[in-house]
Structure 1
Amino acid sequence: MPAERVCAVIPAAGRGTRLGLGIPKIMVEIADGVTVWHVLHERLRPLVEHIHVVMSPEGEGPFRALAAGRIESGAVSVSVQGRPTGMGGAIFGAAPHWDAHGTILVVWGDQAGLSPVTAGRVVEAHEKGLTIPLVPMPDPYVEYELDDDGTLLRVRQSREGDECRPGGLSDVGVFCLSTEGLHEAWTRYLDEAAPGARTGEVNFLPFLPYLSRERGWPLTVVPVTDPDEARGVNTADDLAFARRAHQRWAR
């Protein structure tokens, strides 16, 4: 997949309330002068033509200051999600910034543990449809259920009250999707999607089995062996872990 056809989309409009730092998680420092944004930019820059970041209204200004040079060069763009309606709303609200590309690489804005090897393998493996790196987890927070033919049947989400099974497959916050027909599929999905039982949001993750099961999109799974890659920066413990991991990478 030629890099010029890929746009990275980073939904980062979350407030990071569990961290209690008062700044978007993408701007949290994991080393002196090194934020989650710097790590993600370093991982994604060799793989994509453009990076688009979706921020909250209060986070937009500080992020624009942080990434000013990249924004000025045109390599990075920013949009605002006015209301916190979920990741799907952030991604598809930013469609004017990515729909001219053949592929989008969606990366959660707190995935400080994403390895460059995994990101590269996903882009390289993607041909059409949907490509997701998955890793078995002892106690998954999110679990992907596939049938023997490789169709994605369901995504269980603990935050919506689903029970995830020990040893189940989880994502690492990275999703590669072809853009042809994608916005139309999302619009149709909204017509029938049920809001999450606890969040009340129309979540992005159940959209993925809809694409695979209902729309017949081919699914490519990229196996990941290190469960640490699935760990976002959500809590103080996660942040401490990310800082220790970054120190190991730096060495």
Structure 2
Amino acid sequence: MSERVCAVIPAAGRGARLGADIPKIMVEVADGVTVWHLLHRRLRPRAEHVHVVVSPEGEAPFRDLAAEEIGSGAVSVSVQERPTGMGGAIFGAAPYWEPYDAILVVWGDQANLSPATVDRVVTGHREGGLTIPLVPMADPYVEYEIAGSALVRVRQSREGDECRPGGLSDVGVFCLGTDGLRKEWTRYLSESAPGAVTGEVNFLPFLPHLSRITGRPLTVVPVDDPDEARGINTRADLDFARRAYLRDTEAGGR
């Protein structure tokens, strides 16, 4: 793929469920290695630029953490002043990613994401399309419904939807062509109701809108390991990520 890719990491959350006093992207996994370090290592080979969206409280600490990468110009930072959801964070940062051909959205807590998945998503992305890696989950928190070649619905437990056992879930990574993307988000905002529980116009239901309404070609990248879908939301998740990091380090990975 010859497209220029900008990775965007929405990381403006407060890490409340984790019980942390810093954003989850800055949580240490092991030996001074944070979630940010892991994500940057995975994204750097496939993205020309990385942009991180932080909260007002998280800006100074993150700039300190990523000072070298920011200083080199390979990483940029913006602030989401109010917690209006992932879509607000992503599209509020549009001036940073619109000069690129594709945007690679990555949640800021995906410490278990594999470099192979990132590579397959970027390599498999079709110009102007929508590419999502999906994995079957025994008890999915989010479920994707696909009919033929279209994404027709995203069920979200956080909004009160019932997700079906064995359904397809994402691993916190999404690749989208940037041409006309912000305009389509603005249109979507004007037509969509806020989520029943969060009160936010969420990013994930925007994806079936892109597939069904705008006709963007959908590419699904199959993922075999459900552990890749496990973000860091609780202390148990963090302990899992730490064990995985140490195991992979000993095996010569990471």
AA at the equivalent of 1:237: A
Residue 109 of structure 1: CA displacement?
0.2
Matched residue, 1:115 = 114
Partner secondary structure for residue 85 of structure 1: coil
Corresponding position: 1:139 with 2:139: yes
Residue 180 of structure 1: CA displacement?
0.5
TM-score, length of structure 2 as denominator length: 0.97
CA distance in 1, matches of 2:56, 2:220: 35
Q: Which runs of 4+ in 1 moved over 6 A?
A: none
AA at the equivalent of 2:19: G
CA distance in 2, matches of 1:26, 1:171: 19
Q: Give the number of equivalent residue pairs.
A: 249
Residue 127 of structure 1: CA displacement?
1.4
CA distance in 1, matches of 2:165, 2:123: 30
Matched residue, 1:250 = 249
CA distance in 1, matches of 2:119, 2:95: 25
AA at the equivalent of 1:204: F
TM-score, length of structure 1 as denominator length: 0.98
Residue 249 of structure 1: CA displacement?
1.2
Matched residue, 1:174 = 173
Residue 2 of structure 1: CA displacement?
2.7
Corresponding position: 1:224 with 2:228: no
CA distance in 2, matches of 1:229, 1:178: 24
Matched residue, 1:162 = 161
Give identity over the alignment, percent: 76
Residue 205 of structure 1: CA displacement?
0.1
Structure 1 alignment gaps of length 5 or more: none
AA at the equivalent of 1:77: S
AA at the equivalent of 2:231: G
Partner secondary structure for residue 219 of structure 2: strand
Structural mapping, 1:19-30, within 5 Å: 19-30=18-29
Residue 215 of structure 1: CA displacement?
1.1
CA distance in 2, matches of 1:194, 1:244: 41
Structural mapping, 1:76-87, within 5 Å: 76-87=75-86
Matched residue, 1:130 = 130
CA distance in 1, matches of 2:37, 2:69: 11
Structural mapping, 1:204-219, within 5 Å: 204-219=203-218
